[in-house]
Amino acid sequence: MPAKEILEKTIKSAMSSSSTMSELKGMEKTFQFKTSEGENFYVKIAGGNVEVQNGLAEKATTTISGSDQTLSDLLTGKLDPVKAFMSGQIKVSGDVFAAQRITSIMKKAGA
């Protein structure tokens, strides 16, 4: 399954979880995902809303780049984010701590 579809499914699950939504409350972040295949999308969290959009965000808090398969594996928990970063499978720029926090929240949401 493509990374964007996995992310949309996870967000749908997160939106139905009051504990996950309470963790996202007050968060104002944009996470840009860039695939080596050229499929770019981003997640914007603002005002208690979470949305996935195609393309490039105007201003991203964090950008995560890698192959679609690698991003899919990250989003499903098959690949450890730290190992992926250290091995060069993904590149992360911007607020790395925000990327770690959102990864933790996504795991709880059932990615």
Nearest CA to 90 among 110, 74, 106, 77? 74
Q: 54: domain CATH number?
A: 3.30.1050.10
Mean pLDDT, the chain, integer: 88
Q: Percent of the chain having pLDDT more than 70?
A: 95
pLDDT in tens, 50-92: 899 999 999 999 999 999 999 999 888 899 888 999 999 999 9
Residue 63 contacts residue 29 (beta carbons within 8 Å): no
Q: Taking the model in full, what pTM does it have?
A: 0.88
Residue 79 contacts residue 90 (beta carbons within 8 Å): no
Domain containing 7 equals: 3-109
In the chain, how many domains are there?
A: 1
The most confident of 11-15, 22-26, 68-72, by mean pLDDT: 68-72
Query: What is the helix (H) or strand (E) element at residue 79, kind and residue range?
Result: none
Handedness of CA 59, 65, 67, 73 (dihedral sign): negative
Query: What confidence score (pLDDT) does residue 89 get?
Result: 97
DSSP letters, 15-67, are HT-HHHHHHHTT--EEEEEEETTS-EEEEEEETTEEEEEES--SS-SEEEEE-
In this predicted structure, the answer to whether residue 24 has a pLDDT above a threshold of 90 is no
